[in-house]
Amino acid sequence: MGQPQHSLLTRQLKRYFGDTQAPTSIAPEFIAAVNEAYQQFDNDYRLLERSLELTSQELRHANSEMRAVFERLVNSSPDGILAFDTEYRYLVWNPSVERIFGLRATEALGRQATDIFPDFVINGEETFYTAALNGYSTVAADRSYILPGSNEQAFFEGYYSPLFNEAGTIIGGLAVIRDITERKRFESELQRAKEEAEAASRAKTSFLANMSHELRTPLTAIIGYSELLLYSSAKRNFAETFEDINKILGASKHLLALINDVLDLSKIEAGRIELYAQTFSLTALLEGVLINIAPLAEKNNNQLQIELPRRLGFMHTDQTKLRQTLLNLLGNACKFTHSGSIIMTVSREMREGVDWVIFTITDTGIGIGAEQFGYLFQPFVQGDASTTRRYGGTGLGLAISRRFCQAMGGDIDVNSEAGEGSTFIVRLPAYLPNT
């Protein structure tokens, strides 16, 4: 043979033939082939061992790198990350946990939770640890604690889950701790600011209501005496005083209307809108509205038209608030329209089982710019300062009207274009809900 006989082949020959050499009856070529196979097996085995050794080194290196990456992630996490064993001894305590609890890792690792947190059991924290050791993931929301070594209260959220080994056995628990102390303080400050704002709003509302009542009393007296004087002047033909008294009466009535608007708004903002539902004829209501609004339309040389179906029927709602809403909308149309037309149409329709009454008021007045739509129904707001100077008013009418309609289960929509006029659409259920 060209190469030394393999030791395994030697043992096999000795075992079967009692000699280390093959009998002459066995072809030498066969023995050589077997010997070569054994030699090749040795070579392959050595190569496999080397490969496994290299793979093991690579795995150890990769594992080391992964561990380093994991440690970096844990140590750089803004949230606190800690791990504990089955005896509640801490195994991991990252820098964020140090910051949150004010305790260094060297002071916490290897120590039990009960040694670090005296109230660990009393405040229920043990429950979450136990759940993790039993294989459950839990969340601790809005947990409070006292910082070790101080009396300062802090807050955190905790996310707890079981910690497994490679065999799938629970060996402890993992907790992610998020410090929410600043958030809680912000929420507390926000709540306090909200309460203060609400208190200020209630104080303002109360002041407006009281002032409105206080002002209404003398104004009512002024109006009454002015009407008496007006009647007396007309009867006695005191032409020189008639006009002055009439101006006093007009100004007083205007001021009283403004005070009533402020009083209505104060009730709305205080959530004290009271509805008095009654059944009434729509036709009769609209005829009364037309009588009241006609003089204002004539004052600005406007054509006023109301289109009604032959049988308009009845409504069951707050008649006073509906009348005030229509007078506000028609009054605005008359005020902001000169030598034009104002048309109000009324219709009814059934939609999703609800009987709706629709009031549509269209004018050819100054219209409303697109930039004004966002605050059109806000109190004390008109189109712009020039509008207020030219036409007067406080901007309360639309705000009050919309709140009234919403309280009655409906709303007000508007379509308008500057210089082209406006259309206001009031939709109300014919029968006030829950009455």
Residues 125 and 66 in one domain: no
Please identify, among 18, 46, 72, the residue that sits at the C-terminal boundary of a domain. 72
Same domain, yes or no: 282 and 412 = yes
Range with the lowest mean pLDDT among 44-48, 78-82, 203-207?
203-207
Assess whether 257 and 167 both reside in one domain: no
Q: CA–CA separation, 14 vs 231, rounded Å?
A: 151
Question: Which of 49-53, 119-123, 183-187 is modeled with the greatest confidence?
Answer: 183-187
The residue-averaged pLDDT of 123-148 equals 84
What DSSP element (H or E) covers 424? strand 421-429
Q: Do residues 362 and 258 both lie within one domain?
A: no
Per residue in 308-338, pLDDT (tens digit) is 888 888 999 999 889 989 988 998 899 889 9
| Confidence at residue 48, expressed as pLDDT on a 0 to 100 scale | 76
CATH of the domain at 423: 3.30.565.10
pLDDT at residue 136 is higher than 70:
yes
Is 434 inside a domain boundary?
no
Kindly list the distances between the CA atom of residue 220 and the CA atoms of 214, 216, 255, 327, in Å, as whole numbers in the listed order. Answer: 11, 6, 10, 21
Are 307 and 341 in contact, with CB atoms under 8 Å apart?
no
* Per-residue pLDDT tens over the stretch 208-225: 666 666 666 667 777 776
Distance, in Å, from the CA atom of 256 to the CA atom of 213, rounded to the nearest integer, reads: 10
> Domain total for the chain?
4
> 370 with 414, same domain?
yes
- % the chain with pLDDT above 70: 72
Same domain, 284 and 264: no
> Is there a domain that residue 2 lies in?
no
pLDDT at residue 374 greater than cutoff 60: yes
Q: In the listed set 72, 94, 114, which residue is the last one of a domain according to the structure?
A: 72
Which whole number is the average pLDDT over 288-293? 88
Give the type of residue at 234.
Answer: A
pLDDT higher at 28 or 94: 94
Please check the confidence at residue 284 and state whether its pLDDT lies above 60: yes
Q: What does the pLDDT read at residue 341?
A: 92
Does any domain span residue 43? yes
| pLDDT the model gives residue 279 | 94
- Please check the confidence at residue 138 and state whether its pLDDT lies above 50: yes
125 and 257 share a domain? Answer: no
> What is residue 433's predicted lDDT score, i.e. its pLDDT?
76
Q: Are residues 422 and 308 in the same domain?
A: yes
Could you give the residue ranges of the DSSP H alpha helices within 237-365?
239-269, 282-299, 319-335
pLDDT of the residue at 121: 75
Per-residue pLDDT band for 428 (boundaries 50, 70, 90) equals very high
Same domain, 170 and 213: no
Predicted local distance difference test score (pLDDT) of residue 349: 92
pTM above 0.75, yes or no: no
Nearest Cα to 314, choosing from 349, 292, 285, 275? 285
Please, which pLDDT band fits residue 347 given cuts at 50, 70 and 90? very high
Query: What band does 306 get if pLDDT is binned at 50, 70 and 90?
Result: confident
- CATH code, 253: 1.10.287
Lowest mean pLDDT among 33-42, 352-361, 387-396: 387-396
**Residue 429 reports pLDDT greater than 80:** yes
- Per the structure, the complete domain to which residue 65 belongs is given by 7-72
Rounded mean pLDDT of the chain?
A: 79
Arithmetic mean of pLDDT, 381-385: 51
173 by Cβ neighbours in 10 Å (0-12 / 13-18 / 19+) ranks as buried
Helix 319-335 / helix 397-407 crossing angle, nearest 10 deg:
150
Q: For residue 435, is it within any domain?
A: no
More confident call, 60 vs 334 = 334
In a domain, 393, yes or no: yes
End position of a domain, from candidates 269, 292, 320: 269
What local confidence, expressed as pLDDT, does residue 80 receive? 86
- Asked if the structure places residue 100 within a domain, the reply is yes
The answer as to whether 1 is a domain residue is no
Residues 260 and 293 in one domain: no
Q: Look up the CATH number of the domain holding residue 164.
A: 3.30.450.20
- Does residue 238 sit in the same domain as residue 284? no
Q: Residue 146 pLDDT > 80, yes or no? A: no
Residues 128 and 160 in one domain: yes
Whether 197 is in a domain gets the answer: yes
